[in-house]
């Protein structure tokens, strides 16, 4: 099996580096890294086909997204507070937890990593991470594109100490970099005072987040060791943060370059041989077709983020019109074998608008942005190659984004928000819910003022006692959302038609409703997930619908409800109709 691994590694490394490095020696180094992992963990080096038939996921998989310090209690380590909250409130509801970067950091709430192998001591220890991983599948971030300028690698780069003197990308400031795709409106090159004088280094996201030089094989090998270290520490899911920007080549967009895809495939090769249960996820906030390219030919990412979903769900509910989300969902290609989507409507980042390029007309996007401004949100901009700027993402909590429609604020905020979650839960893939969706968090403008960053609006840190009080008080929005969302998830987890591998079809009847038909792999169950995206009561005669029949039961109803003659949908109501059992 070692020979097979060695051959595959050499093949992949050749596609990355060509003749610029000794591929055979590098493949042997990589094999030794994998063998060290295998020996340390008493595992067997296996060759697992990239289209392995063993199930990686099921309808039971539901992921919580949270920071390690999103909930705090006086005198208590935040990750221990999080562990208690998970055990007391979410056991049996979610089975996996994505703890956003929990390493020492200097900015961007964790995404500017100072030390990849340590836990932020203000949040906890590796033992605290292990405690959570013992009860929930763990998702960890491999912040692979860049590191903090306070990282010791960069300190050694400044001091011109090998091997770190070649860990970063120097560019002459007179170089034309206008073609480079920018997710921010900050300068691409940042000046740094080094022992060799002032150097300009590549910094895609900020002057504190310095891009790493993957053209140097030592950087790649370093990150594969970190990758295996996270798996050793209990990670079942590995999220490749901002991976689309990984490889740089002047004269190109420096986005989705072939070498970037080959690096992701190499990471897939590594787990195929040493940890086949691990799921590799790419995070690429880009237009839909570009995003889907990270499936490769079932040999790259196991999962990709469904970035088109958040803006399209919000647009449908804000506009009272399902046409665009229905057309988009109907056009989603059939999933490659062994691949699925990570579905989400909210995360630590904003609601991206790049993924709807070519799907929503510019006027619709601008109208949505204008409405989110009225609801207290902000918009982050990106730089374009012609020197102009354009919207990149909307910064707002999803709960407050649902406080009204384009006509203004109304009293349907909770219903509209729950509808957004019901749509997401019905989509093909694995659902991932942000902690601030569970807690119906409002815009945290005080946090924005404190940090000076608009993204902080959606990164509230809850006091545990305050949160518990709100969740225990039945008249609060937090209690209503938390309990209803938890109930929906527990129902979902029992339905084979909601398996990530179950078939998805879109049914179009009019723009008032969004309808998905899900059919289980063995065809034993079908579910019609029907959402009213308007503030009106809809009465739909079965005879006019045609695709529904009497006897279907709404499994989302508080009491079993069987469909007879007519389907009545209240404002923003979702029904999950299935055969009576």
Q: Which of 424, 481, 433, 367 is nearest to 96 (CA)?
A: 433
- Marked catalytic residue, from 128, 211, 241, 554: 241
User: Does the annotation count 53 as an active-site position?
Assistant: no
Burial of 47 (0-12, 13-18, 19+ CB in 10 A): middle
Q: Which of 442, 425, 561 is nearest to 485 (CA)?
A: 425
Helix (H) or strand (E) holding 239: strand 235-240
146 is in an annotated binding site: yes
Mark 325-352 as b/e (b = at least 16 C-beta within 10 Å).
Answer: bbebbeebeebbebbbbbbbbbbbbbbb
Judge whether 355 and 408 are in contact, CB under 8 Å.
no
Helix (H) or strand (E) holding 467: helix 464-472
Q: For residue 558, what are the contacts with CB-CB under 8 A and spacing of at least 6?
A: none
13 is in an annotated binding site: no
Q: Which of 96, 91, 92 is nearest to 64 (CA)?
A: 96
Query: Which pair of structure tokens corresponds to residue 536?
Result: 């009106």
In degrees, rounded to 5, the angle at the alpha carbon of residue 123 between the alpha carbons of residues 153 and 89 is 135
What is the greatest pairwise CA distance in the chain?
80
Query: Which pair of structure tokens corresponds to residue 518?
Result: 């899900």
22 is in an annotated binding site: no
In degrees, rounded to 5, the angle at the alpha carbon of residue 459 between the alpha carbons of residues 458 and 465 is 115
Length of the chain (residues): 581
Rounded CA separation 555/29 (Å): 54
108 is in an annotated binding site: yes
Helix (H) or strand (E) holding 436: helix 435-438
Strand, helix or coil for residue 429 = coil
> What's the Cα-to-Cα distance from 494 to each of 283, 447, 524, rounded to whole Å?
28, 39, 13
> In Å, how far from its chain's centre is CA 66?
11
501 is in an annotated binding site: no
What are the residue numbers of the active site? Answer: 241
Annotated binding residues for substrate? 108, 146, 239-241, 348-349, 455
Annotated binding residues? 108, 146, 239-241, 348-349, 455
């Amino acid at each position: 099996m070692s020979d097979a691994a060695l051959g595959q590694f050499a093949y992949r490394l050749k596609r990355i580096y060509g003749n610029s490095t000794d591929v055979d020696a590098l493949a042997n180094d990589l094999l030794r890294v994998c063998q060290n992992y295998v020996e340390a963990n008493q595992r067997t080096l296996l060759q697992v086909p990239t289209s392995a038939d063993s199930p990686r996921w099921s309808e039971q998989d539901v992921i919580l997204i949270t920071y390690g310090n999103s909930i705090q209690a006086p005198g208590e380590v935040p990750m221990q507070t999080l562990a208690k909250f998970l055990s007391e409130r979410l056991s049996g509801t979610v089975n996996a937890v994505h703890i956003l970067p929990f390493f020492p950091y200097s900015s961007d709430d964790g995404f500017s990593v100072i030390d990849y192998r340590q836990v932020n001591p203000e949040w906890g220890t590796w033992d605290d991470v292990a405690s959570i991983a013992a009860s929930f599948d763990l998702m960890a971030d491999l912040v692979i594109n860049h590191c903090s300028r306070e990282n010791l690698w960069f300190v050694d780069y400044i001091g011109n100490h090998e091997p770190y003197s070649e860990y970063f990308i120097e560019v002459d400031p007179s170089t034309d970099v206008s073609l480079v795709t920018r997710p921010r409106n900050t300068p691409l090159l940042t000046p740094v005072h080094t022992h060799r004088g002032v150097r300009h280094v590549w910094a895609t996201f900020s002057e504190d987040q310095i891009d790493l030089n993957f053209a140097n094989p030592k950087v790649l090998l370093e990150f594969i060791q970190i990758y295996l270290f996270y798996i050793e520490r209990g990670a079942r899911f590995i999220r490749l943060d901002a991976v689309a920007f990984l490889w740089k080549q002047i004269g190109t967009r420096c986005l989705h370059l072939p070498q970037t895809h080959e690096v992701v495939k190499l990471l897939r090769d590594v787990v195929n041989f040493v940890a086949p249960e691990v799921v590799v996820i790419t995070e690429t906030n880009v237009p839909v077709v570009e995003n889907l390219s990270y499936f490769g030919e079932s040999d790259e990412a196991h999962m990709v983020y469904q970035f088109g979903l958040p803006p399209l769900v919000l647009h449908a509910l804000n506009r009272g019109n399902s046409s665009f989300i229905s057309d988009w969902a109907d056009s989603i290609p059939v999933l490659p074998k062994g691949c699925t989507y990570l579905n989400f409507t909210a995360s630590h980042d904003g609601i991206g608008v790049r993924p709807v390029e070519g799907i929503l007309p510019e006027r619709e996007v601008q109208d949505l942005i204008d409405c989110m401004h009225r609801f207290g949100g902000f918009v982050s901009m990106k730089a374009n190659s012609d020197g102009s700027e354009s919207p990149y993402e909307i910064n707002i909590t999803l709960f407050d984004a649902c406080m009204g429609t384009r006509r203004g604020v109304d009293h349907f905020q909770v219903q509209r928000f729950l509808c957004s979650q019901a749509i997401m839960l019905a989509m093909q893939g694995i659902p991932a819910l942000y902690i601030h969706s569970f807690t119906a968090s409002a815009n945290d403008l005080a946090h924005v003022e404190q940090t000076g960053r608009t993204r902080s609006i959606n990164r509230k840190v809850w006091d545990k006692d305050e949160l518990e009080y709100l969740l225990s008080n039945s008249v609060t929005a937090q209690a209503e959302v938390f309990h209803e969302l938890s109930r929906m998830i527990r129902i979902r987890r029992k339905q084979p038609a909601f398996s990530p591998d179950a078939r998805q079809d879109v049914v179009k009847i009019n723009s008032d409703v969004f309808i998905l038909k899900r059919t289980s792999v063995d065809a034993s169950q079908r579910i019609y997930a029907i959402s009213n995206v308007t503030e009106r009561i809809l009465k739909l005669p079965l005879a006019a619908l045609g695709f529904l029949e009497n006897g279907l039961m709404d499994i989302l109803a508080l009491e079993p409800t069987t469909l007879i003659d007519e389907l009545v949908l209240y404002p923003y109501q979702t029904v999950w109709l299935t055969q009576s059992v």
